[in-house]
Amino acid sequence: MASERNLKTSTIEDHLSTFVASGELKISELIEQPRLDLIVSAFKKHGTAFIQPVKEELRDDVTYGELKLVKAYLMSGRY
């Protein structure tokens, strides 16, 4: 999608995060439950103020885009 519209992947991820935060898009449509559980657990441990500690814990198992999506989900209060 990003290349079709001449956008960066991070731009698309930012838009998706906005839709997750507003409730217009369900996180389950983007991230499978076991993966979501893993990321949520790491955010519970480290807090949502910064993504970097979660990324350092989970390393290459997750992308920054996934972390942004889950952070938006958690910050929305829908968890």
Statement: the pTM of the whole predicted model exceeds 0.85: yes
Closest CA relative to residue 45, chosen from 33, 32, 54, 55: 54
pLDDT tens sequence across 45-75: 999 999 999 999 999 999 999 999 999 999 9
pLDDT tens sequence across 8-52: 888 999 999 999 999 999 999 999 999 999 999 999 999 999 999
Query: For the chain, give me the number of helices (H) and strands (E)?
Result: 4, 0
- Residue 18 vs residues 34, 45, 56, 59, 65: alpha-carbon distances, Å: 22, 24, 24, 24, 12
